[in-house]
Amino acid sequence: MMGLHQERQIRYNVIDYISDGGALLSVSIAQIAKHCGVSTATVSRVLNQSDKVTASTREKIMQAIEELGYSPNQAARNLRTQSTKMIGVIIPHDTEYIFNYPYFSIFLRELSKNLSIHHYYPILTTDQPGSHPLDSYRTFLDRKIVDAFLLLDIQDEDERVIYLQQRKAKFVVVGRPKSFTDLIYIDTDNEMGGYMGARYLLQKGYRRILFINGPRAQSVSTWRMKGFFRAHEEAKLPVHKDLIRYGDFLEKSGFQIVQSITSRFDAVFAASDLMAMGAIQALRERNTLCPVMGYDDVPMAATFNPTLSTVAQPIDQVGRLAAREIIHLVEKNQAQSQLLPISLVLRQSTEEDPTRT
């Protein structure tokens, strides 16, 4: 039969477990405190990163935590803070699109890795055929499934943004819509990317550039188009609007656009590496040679034949910063927008014989 002292000790451990984040196995905050000769309140302050503890005491407690194997119980902490530690990532595409577009795999890998370091986890879902774009957001909010959202493929006048603002939900967008000025966003400098890619081709003497942009409605396409026009304006050269087309970032659309176009062009600038690769395949079938510039610098750009010149954007860094800022928004109710620089990577596809086999 259990003694009174033993029963009380178990009760104290359960209280510690629930009210202070708890401990896995049998190590409690009370045991840490006893081991260090301090109060349980002092241990709690260290665990909560309070600055009201001396450096020497903090170091002693941290060493005891490591030696005794104390690990906070996240489920108990979540009950106390009403936090789920879940971030909603609802991608407005079907599953096949996600697996075919390398941007998403790179971004999601870095996002997941950096969220998990801080004990947050993404709930990833895609739009279902026939569903309303807001259905998943409504469900997640009504059932209190997530702490915040990351919005991808942002559009100007995006109804998701308007809805989440109305619901006073926390969210960070990946992209930079021109129609909203008060959003927290993570983006690369897409206007500069469109400018640098077009400027390079213009400086090489090409005057009729086929620009295969991304989806017309997406803000990223708006910014890249703006940069494309700026390069022509700076060079005092006209933009041939009959050579501006819109794809979906995937290889097939780049292939089909080049195959179907009847206007004359002497270079191609595609707003994704996959569309650039599709364009090269179509050029081969047309027995046409011209330089091709891509965008993204996904891993296969360096191994494609020919190797692909491209506007490189740091997709992995976008994922890392998205994780950091969404956590700051959840925990501190504040976050900072980030605009990341891009660079030009020159390879074989912009050489004199770019479509050689």
Q: What is the pLDDT of residues 265-321, one digit of tens each?
A: 999 999 999 999 999 999 999 998 899 999 999 999 999 999 999 999 999 999 999
What's the pLDDT at 330? 96
Burial class (CB in 10 A: 0-12, 13-18, 19+), 7: exposed
Q: Which of 188, 264, 351, 286 is nearest to 278 (CA)?
A: 286
Tell me the torsion sign for CA atoms 156, 159, 160, 164.
Answer: positive
Banded pLDDT at 133 (limits 50, 70, 90): confident
Encoding tokens for residue 234? Answer: 């700076």
pLDDT at 326 over 70: yes
Asked if residues 140 and 149 have their Cβ atoms less than 8 Å apart, the reply is yes
Banded pLDDT at 3 (limits 50, 70, 90): very low
50-54, 198-202, 246-250: which has the minimum mean pLDDT? 50-54
Calpha distance 184→299 (Å, rounded): 29
What's the pLDDT at 307? 97
Q: Which of 193, 190, 238, 245 is nearest to 214 (CA)?
A: 245
Calpha distance 215→211 (Å, rounded): 12
What's the pLDDT at 5? 39
What's the pLDDT at 96? 83
Q: Which of 60, 101, 104, 76 is nearest to 18 (CA)?
A: 76
DSSP H helical ranges for 69-189: 74-81, 95-100, 102-117, 135-142, 159-166
3-state secondary structure of 83: coil
DSSP state of 156: T
Q: Which domains does the chain have, with CATH numbers?
A: 4-80 (1.10.260.40), 86-188+316-340 (3.40.50.2300), 190-314+343-350 (3.40.50.2300)
Say which residue, 186 or 59, is predicted with more confidence.
186
Banded pLDDT at 1 (limits 50, 70, 90): very low
Which strands sit side by side in the sheet containing 338-340, from one edge to the other?
A: 121-126, 86-91, 148-151, 171-174, 185-188, 338-340
Query: What's the whole-number mean pLDDT along residues 323-343?
Result: 95
